[in-house]
Amino acid sequence: MTFRLTKTAAALALAVLSTLAVAQDDLLETEPPGRVGRVSLAEGRVTINGEVGEAASDALVNWPVTSRNLVTTAPGARTELRIGSTSVRLDGDSSLEVTELDDDSLRLRLHYGSASVRIVSEDVVPEFELSTPQARVRMNRPGRVRVDAERVRDTSVVNVFDGEAQVEGAGASLLVRAGRSAEVREDDVRTLQARRDVFDDWSLQRDKLQDGAVSARYVTTDMTGYEELDRHGSWRQDPDYGSLWIPSVAAGWVPYRDGRWTWIAPWGWTWVDNAPWGYAPFHYGRWVHVKNRWAWAPGRHQRRPVWAPALVGWVGGGNWNLHFHSRQPLPAQGWYPLGPHDRFVPGYRLSDERLRRLHAYGWRTRDHKGPDRRPDYRHRGLTVVPHAQFGQRGPVVVANVPKANSLPLVVPEHAASAPPPPLGWRDRRPERDQRDVNSVRDQRDVNSLRDQVRDRQREGRERDTRRVDLRDRADQERQDRERFSRERDDRERDDRERFRRGQRPPILSTNPAPVHAGAGFGQPGRIATSAPAPLAAPLPPAAPAVQPPPAQAPMVQRQPEQPRRWQRIERDEDGRDNFENRRQRPQPATMAPPMMQAAPQAAAPQMAPPPRPSMPPPQAIAPPPRAMPEPSPAAPVRPRGEVRAHTDHKGTRHQDN
């Protein structure tokens, strides 16, 4: 009897252990990965979405990157992704899909555009794979590789600058060493010399900035975001917490207060900090308050630390009410940074081994008086906002939401759970699993993406053609403006030269109306471009009149004014009037400078000019007597052929013929 009971108990124990093992395996398959990348740089228009077909949003610095993410750059934009020590950079007009990113694999797919990948760690080499519509690229050694897809239709180009790459495509497998490139088409593969451009030079400069980071002495290079710590803070040793990193921030700065909360499946609410260094300190390690300053303690050096969406403790909820610039209290939701002795409670499924790695810090402490003496950061680092902010659509931007006026003296001791998902969120994992199973649908998606790539390339070629046409048109307009400016300057220079020589410059009219022959030509003043009005009949000569001269001033005898006959005066090429036409012009008795004469005015149509008042002609007034010799009478005219003789003062006689 005892033997049967023992046998039954052993069988039950084996069944329970096998059930637990199967459950643990299922949990490991469904739990989130412990490695997540980030967007470390975004220049220009860069978008990211959960998977192909979903609505895209603008990619921000420190945005988490995981499986099924699709990163797209607009023309002229660039971005950089970091997964530990691995760098993935995209040039403008590119689309990269992260098909799989977890603890054991890093698989990428470049739909179109250009991507530069640099692998430093030996552990990442067997995990890496990058595919294009025509080829598949694997690394045999750490190095740097540049891949172009669909820049030329149905063609992929792989340039290897460092290390070795294995390129598969068109039914062949090719080993490409440093300094060589492979051009893969659908039915052909050939090798060429590797070529660099400005995108490769930019990637090389980014690599130099990240090489030799001091932070690699204190944390592992598998920790994503470690390369940003050197430029924004300093390291020091603490007897209680070991290595501490102190950020260069203003006084009164508090962790988890300058950023936003966004929902990222399957982790839930994830913190995205605004600082360029705000990735590693908010997803690994703990925050401590030492000497009235906040410092980040990364903990024990681990080969590949476990990533967390946010290492905070939640406070409040529906039963905790505070005032937010309003008369009545509202439900409040708060969070604070976890300390080294606080346990992180994830809101997602996580295995025991992952939890152990997540809490295995190994800090030393001199305080052994129990948990009551541990530092409590719920008052120093607590941030409280209305609870309703987490129930709306979109992220919760902490800087734009109201804060609590004052915190109560007593904060709830019990740890609250994370807020619920935002409005309109639904789990898409079953849909993704179904798409993974159905390969035909995947092939349709690939064909659809290829058609989209070709349409994009055609639109790009048409856009380039329009740009060339607009550029040519702008150049032609600029040349026309320059030619017109030169001609205008030449005319002005010729006019100034003629004026300097005393010549009258030609009269130019900018009015496009035709110039009629008639009044205005040959006289100073403006040329009338309208049809000439009929001239009035000349007035009869008026009666003479005498004007009293000024005292002791001689009067000038004037002749009666004659009506002017307007004639068109032809001019020579040098600007002078023709002598024959000038001779026909009536000359007044008293000549005045040309600029002193009044310009003729055309008579208004259908109106006769007002009659002139009759004035007597001026009379000659004898000038006062002057001491001047009388003019000699005119000598008589000598007939032709007459001979005369005369004698000079010396008595010599002369004969005039």
Q: What's the gap between Cα 416 and its chain centre? A: 44
Q: What is the pLDDT of residues 263-275, one digit of tens each?
A: 998 899 999 999 9
CB of 337 closer than 8 Å to CB of 255:
yes
Determine what percent of the chain falls in helix, strand and coil, rounding each to the nearest 5: 25, 25, 50
**Residue 532 tokens, joined:** 């000439």
Q: 341: buried, middle or exposed (CB in 10 Å: 19+, 13-18, 0-12)?
A: middle
Separation CA 346–CA 314 (nearest Å): 11
CB of 448 closer than 8 Å to CB of 435:
no
Q: Is residue 122's pLDDT more than 70?
A: yes
Separation CA 250–CA 28 (nearest Å): 42
* Stronger pLDDT, 317 or 334, i.e. the higher one: 334
Separation CA 316–CA 333 (nearest Å): 5
Q: Is residue 600's pLDDT more than 50?
A: no
* Stronger pLDDT, 407 or 567, i.e. the higher one: 407
CB of 522 closer than 8 Å to CB of 567:
yes
Separation CA 534–CA 605 (nearest Å): 8
Give the position of tokens 């067997």. 126
Pairing of the two strands 106-119 and 143-149: antiparallel
CB of 270 closer than 8 Å to CB of 261:
yes
* Stronger pLDDT, 49 or 518, i.e. the higher one: 49
pLDDT band at residue 411 using 50, 70 and 90 as cut-offs: low
**The pLDDT of residue 202:** 96
Give the range with max mean pLDDT: 126-140, 199-213, 501-515. 126-140
If phi > 0 it is left, if psi is from -120 to 50 it is alpha, else beta; for residue 575 that is left
pLDDT band at residue 535 using 50, 70 and 90 as cut-offs: very low
Rg (CA), the chain: 50
Q: Report angle CA 385, 389, 392 to the nearest 5 degrees.
A: 175
Q: Is residue 358's pLDDT more than 50?
A: yes
**The pLDDT of residue 352:** 87
What's the mean pLDDT in 333-357? 88
Least confident of 89-98, 423-432, 464-473: 423-432
**Residue 173 tokens, joined:** 């497998």
* Stronger pLDDT, 623 or 604, i.e. the higher one: 623
| Cis check: omega of the bond before 266, within 30 degrees of 0 | yes
Give percent of the chain with pLDDT exceeding 70. Answer: 61
Least confident of 14-18, 192-196, 307-311, 383-387: 14-18
Q: Is residue 450's pLDDT more than 90?
A: no
Number of other residues whose CB lies within 10 A of the CB of residue 38: 23
* Stronger pLDDT, 495 or 236, i.e. the higher one: 236
Residue 220 one-letter amino acid: T
Give percent of the chain with pLDDT exceeding 90. Answer: 38
What's the mean pLDDT in 490-495? 86
Q: Whose CA is closest to 94, among 162, 165, 45, 144?
A: 45
CB of 252 closer than 8 Å to CB of 313:
no
Q: What is the pLDDT of residues 383-395, one digit of tens each?
A: 999 988 898 888 9
Q: Is residue 514's pLDDT more than 60?
A: no
pLDDT band at residue 213 using 50, 70 and 90 as cut-offs: confident
Q: At what angle do helices 439-500 and 429-437 cross, to 10 degrees?
A: 100
Residue 576 one-letter amino acid: R
What's the mean pLDDT in 11-18? 50
Q: Is residue 350's pLDDT more than 60?
A: yes
* Stronger pLDDT, 381 or 522, i.e. the higher one: 381
**The pLDDT of residue 464:** 63
Q: What is the pLDDT of residues 553-599, one digit of tens each?
A: 445 455 555 554 444 444 555 445 444 444 444 444 444 444 444 44
Task: Report the run of H or E that residue 465 belongs to, with start and end.
Answer: helix 439-500
**The pLDDT of residue 611:** 53
If phi > 0 it is left, if psi is from -120 to 50 it is alpha, else beta; for residue 49 that is beta
3-class secondary-structure state, position 122: coil
Q: Is residue 281's pLDDT more than 80?
A: yes
Q: pTM value?
A: 0.63
Give the position of tokens 């390690």. 285
What's the mean pLDDT in 181-198? 93
**The pLDDT of residue 500:** 77
* Stronger pLDDT, 360 or 202, i.e. the higher one: 202
What's the mean pLDDT in 524-540? 44
Q: Is residue 115's pLDDT more than 90?
A: yes
Q: Can you spell out the DSSP letters for 251-279?
A: TT--TT-SEEEEEETTTEEEEEESSTT-S
Separation CA 524–CA 520 (nearest Å): 8
Q: 160: buried, middle or exposed (CB in 10 Å: 19+, 13-18, 0-12)?
A: buried
Q: Is residue 649's pLDDT more than 90?
A: no
Give the Å distances, CA to CA, from 392 to 50, 91, 396: 19, 35, 8
CB of 542 closer than 8 Å to CB of 560:
yes
What's the mean pLDDT in 613-618? 52
Q: What is the pLDDT of residues 465-491, one digit of tens each?
A: 666 677 777 788 888 888 888 888 888
Least confident of 107-116, 467-476, 489-498: 467-476
Give the range with max mean pLDDT: 58-72, 433-447, 567-581. 58-72
**Sign, CA torsion 573/574/579/581:** positive
Q: Is residue 606's pLDDT more than 90?
A: no
What's the mean pLDDT in 326-354? 87
Q: Whose CA is closest to 308, among 240, 246, 237, 256?
A: 256
pLDDT band at residue 498 using 50, 70 and 90 as cut-offs: confident
Least confident of 246-260, 404-418, 456-470, 529-543: 529-543
Number of other residues whose CB lies within 10 A of the CB of residue 183: 20
Q: What's the mean per-residue pLDDT of the chain?
A: 75
Q: What is the pLDDT of residues 163-178, one digit of tens each?
A: 999 999 988 999 999 9
**The pLDDT of residue 593:** 46
DSSP state of 72: E
Q: What pairs with residue 148 in β-bridges?
A: 114, 157
Q: Whose CA is closest to 344, among 278, 282, 401, 263?
A: 282
**The pLDDT of residue 301:** 75
CB of 82 closer than 8 Å to CB of 37:
yes
CB of 308 closer than 8 Å to CB of 346:
yes
pLDDT band at residue 507 using 50, 70 and 90 as cut-offs: low
Separation CA 225–CA 84 (nearest Å): 7
Number of other residues whose CB lies within 10 A of the CB of residue 518: 17
Q: Can you spell out the DSSP letters for 219-234?
A: S-TTSTTGGGSGGGEE
Q: Is residue 103's pLDDT more than 60?
A: yes
CB of 247 closer than 8 Å to CB of 235:
no
DSSP state of 11: H
pLDDT band at residue 413 using 50, 70 and 90 as cut-offs: low
Separation CA 179–CA 628 (nearest Å): 114
Separation CA 358–CA 256 (nearest Å): 19
What's the mean pLDDT in 287-292? 90
**The pLDDT of residue 356:** 85
3-class secondary-structure state, position 50: coil
CB of 96 closer than 8 Å to CB of 26:
no
Give the range with max mean pLDDT: 203-207, 378-382, 452-456. 203-207
Per-residue burial over 237-263, b = 16 or more CB atoms within 10 Å of its CB, e = otherwise: eeeebbbbbebebeeeebbbbebbbbb
pLDDT band at residue 375 using 50, 70 and 90 as cut-offs: low
Q: Is residue 2's pLDDT more than 90?
A: no
Q: Is residue 62's pLDDT more than 90?
A: yes
